[in-house]
Amino acid sequence: MKRIIFLSFSFLLVLNIQGQQKMTPEMLWKLGRVNPLGVTADAKYVVYSVSTPNIDANKGSSVMYQLPVEGGDPVEITKNLIRDKNLSPDGKYKLSNKEMKVVKITGADRYSDLSKSNAYVFDDLMIRHWDTWEEGAFDHVILSTMTNGIATSEMDIMKDEPYDCPQKPFGGDEDYIFGPDGTTVLYVTKKKFGKDYAVSTNTDIYEYDINTKTTRNLTEGRMGYDINPTYSNGGTLAYLSMRRDGYESDKQDIIVYANKQHINLTAHRDDLHVESYRWSADGMHIYFTAPVNGTVQLFDVPVTSPVTAAPPVIRQVTSGDFDVTGIVGQSKQTLVVSRTDMNHAAELYTVNLADGSMKQLTHVNDDAYKKIQMVRTERRWVKTTDKKDMLVWVIYPPDFDPTKKYPTLLYCQGGPQSALTQFYSFRWNFQLMASNGYIVVAPNRRGMPGHGTAWNEEISKDHGGQAMEDYLSAIDAVSKEPYVDKDRLGAVGASYGGYSVFMLAGIHDGRFKSFIAHDGIFDMRSMYGTTEELFFVDWDWGGPYWDLKNKAAQKTYKKFNPVNYVDKWDTPIMIVQGGKDYRVPVEQGLSAFQAAKLKGLNARLLYLPEENHWVLSSQNALVWQREFYKWLSETLPVKGTAPVGKS
């Protein structure tokens, strides 16, 4: 009888697997994207929205829901039930931001009789930023007086200042908040202009007094990024901070401002780079997320009252092969968080703060996942050329058979100082790569947080050095497996990953048969002359190419510049370039493509004129996916995979 039951179960399992499909770009772009909005004031409900791309309309649609924190069925709502943090506690004022024209740059602004002029005139740097040309307008914080819920007057609390709040290009309304009693406004800005702005990361947190109309700098003398101010329910201020000016990837810590002192709660943990945080309901703890060992986990740091000089004991709350991507809110001894892994887009979970156990709360994509075969992810530890242990994620096709040989992709992460964890990308999607028949090798090479500050910082001024050795160590180690086809290896990546591909193309010594580089740096001299945030290239490369006495800079431009290795390019390469990418400007991709074609290589250019450093529109994203896998099918074919031991 037991044998019959077992055989029946096995038969049903086979039927279930056969009924599933491998992930496709079209299936990926039908998944709902969960955006948490918060937990209601009574701590009973979580509010979130789900956006779904509409390929035909080339845009997305969004629906809002409420769901009991204890679990249950979601209910569609039309009004956000989360209290508006931009409304003062007494309801008298409301905060917003608006672009205000401050500097005359356009021809039409400078000459009133030339209203149709589209000329720009610049006397200083930051002539463009991320994907927008500077036109003399700056985002300012607007304080509106409210009467019966209606704004009756507006005041620009940054009047005539050529500074931005929210911070460009990624800041939002988290850059400004009311003080606990509603009589002050805190806002984040970098009070620098032109060249000074381009070479600095020194943002500060300013306090504006509504009654006296005066402003003071709360973080004066703190030289790096100071961002994300929040108050506890008891009125204590916390914020995130980096120490050094000009270093955008410095260790980020949680600072508590108490008794006119700035107390660093996480400095003593060299392995923790804080990504996000939230006060506990009682104001006695701060919960935060940080990369650790190839994942992003939830941590708890106590905030004693009064704050003492002794380093607090930090507790890791969660653990597992997943990323905690955000902290939504608290309900008693439970936190609501968002979570991803390489097989699943973001969903909301509850976390038991006592033991770290997690329970899935939303199930937006469950029906889709029932039809999709999952892939297996594996941790490997690879010895580097300098005898250190490096974590490498290996992702296998859903129907992986170790008796066959598979084409394999080396994935090169961007950043360069960004964590390679259990993230779920709608472009660089490991599940999709593996589902197309490729083993994916994703090394936590030098420069990635989650393995200690030293590991993270070793990449600065060494972009083409040890990190390239780490890549090759990873692919060489995994290629020793009998199921990896050494004759079908490829390397792919974007941003610093794109730079890595260009660099590897000149030094790979015949390992790879195909490359894909998206928005990568090809010529560092040209990049230095056209990129906008110069603090990055000054810090990570050592400075400008014309500083002949600067050994670090000269090493960068000579030894680590991909353009200097084009004579060794001998492998098919696909190049992707965004037309509105002003971080890694268009000449980088065009120059690389032109060099490849003039050398007679099989090369393809995917040019996206309206996209920036990313690909944001639905149809362009699908073109990206289709061209990506078309190129791989042509240069690194799967062909049903070959049996091990046979060509």
- Crossing angle of helices 551-559 and 534-541, in 10° steps, is 100
Give the tens place of pLDDT for each residue, 534-590. 999 999 999 999 999 999 999 999 999 999 999 999 999 999 999 999 999 999 999
Give the tens place of pLDDT for each residue, 75-86. 999 999 999 999
In this predicted structure, the answer to whether residue 10 has a pLDDT above a threshold of 60 is no
Mean pLDDT computed over 472-501: 98
In this predicted structure, the answer to whether residue 477 has a pLDDT above a threshold of 80 is yes
User: Which DSSP state fits 522?
Assistant: -
In this predicted structure, the answer to whether residue 632 has a pLDDT above a threshold of 80 is yes
CATH topology of domain 373-643: Rossmann fold (3.40.50)
Q: Which 3 state secondary structure label does DSSP give 324? A: strand
Residue 391 host element (H or E): strand 389-396
Regarding beta strands 226-231 and 237-241, do their DSSP bridges make them parallel or antiparallel, or are they unpaired? antiparallel
Nearest to 544 by CA among 244, 248, 195, 224: 195
Give the DSSP per-residue string, 89-156. TTSSEEEEEEEEE-S--BHHHH-TT-TT---B--SSS--EETTEE--SEEEEEEEEEEETTEEEEEEE
In this predicted structure, the answer to whether residue 608 has a pLDDT above a threshold of 60 is yes
Predicted confidence band of residue 448 (pLDDT cuts 50, 70, 90): very high
Please identify which of the residues 200, 581, 591, 618 carries the catalytic annotation: 581
- Per-residue confidence (pLDDT) for residue 36, from 0 to 100: 98
Chain centroid to CA 542: 24
Torsion on CA atoms 626, 632, 637, 639, rounded to nearest 10: -30
In this predicted structure, the answer to whether residue 396 has a pLDDT above a threshold of 70 is yes
| One-letter amino acid for residue 268 of the chain | H
Q: Which 3 state secondary structure label does DSSP give 308? A: coil
Rg (Cα) of the chain, in Å, rounded? 26
C-beta of residue 569 within 8 angstroms of C-beta of residue 594:
no
Please identify which of the residues 495, 514, 591, 618 carries the catalytic annotation: 495
In this predicted structure, the answer to whether residue 18 has a pLDDT above a threshold of 70 is no
Domain boundaries, the chain: 373-643
Residues linked to residue 476 through DSSP beta bridges, in sequence order: none
Predicted confidence band of residue 611 (pLDDT cuts 50, 70, 90): very high
Mean pLDDT computed over 189-209: 98
- Per-residue confidence (pLDDT) for residue 309, from 0 to 100: 64
In this predicted structure, the answer to whether residue 21 has a pLDDT above a threshold of 60 is yes
**Residues 536, 540, 542: CA angle, nearest 5 degrees:** 105
Task: Check if 581 is active-site.
Answer: yes
Average pLDDT, the chain: 95
Give the DSSP per-residue string, 469-504. HHHHHHHHHHTTSTTEEEEEEEEEEETHHHHHHHHH
- Per-residue confidence (pLDDT) for residue 643, from 0 to 100: 55
The widest CA-to-CA distance across the chain, in whole angstroms, is 94
Give the tens place of pLDDT for each residue, 91-140. 999 999 999 999 999 999 999 999 999 999 999 999 999 999 999 999 99
C-beta of residue 421 within 8 angstroms of C-beta of residue 458:
no
pTM, full prediction: 0.95
For residue 306, is the peptide bond before it cis, meaning its omega torsion is within 30 degrees of 0?
Answer: yes
C-beta of residue 340 within 8 angstroms of C-beta of residue 349:
no
User: Which DSSP state fits 82?
Assistant: S
Distances (CA, A) of 536 to 67, 454, 544, 588: 43, 18, 11, 17
Task: Give the pair of three-digit tokens for residue 370.
Answer: 């029932």
Give the tens place of pLDDT for each residue, 149-181. 999 999 999 999 999 999 999 999 999 999 999
Task: Check if 613 is active-site.
Answer: yes
Residue 506 host element (H or E): helix 496-507
Task: Check if 495 is active-site.
Answer: yes
Give the tens place of pLDDT for each residue, 298-321. 999 999 765 566 899 999 999 999
Please state which of the ranges 48-62, 403-417, 425-439, 519-533 shows the lowest mean pLDDT: 48-62
- Per-residue confidence (pLDDT) for residue 372, from 0 to 100: 97
| One-letter amino acid for residue 511 of the chain | R
Mean pLDDT computed over 333-346: 98
Q: Which 3 state secondary structure label does DSSP give 218? A: coil
Predicted confidence band of residue 639 (pLDDT cuts 50, 70, 90): confident
- Per-residue confidence (pLDDT) for residue 2, from 0 to 100: 43
Distances (CA, A) of 313 to 277, 300, 304: 16, 9, 11
Torsion on CA atoms 395, 397, 400, 404, rounded to nearest 10: -100
Q: Provide the b/e sequence for 506-516 (b: ≥16 CB within 10 Å).
A: bebeebbbbbb
Distance CA 397, CA 438 (A): 6
Distance CA 357, CA 349 (A): 10
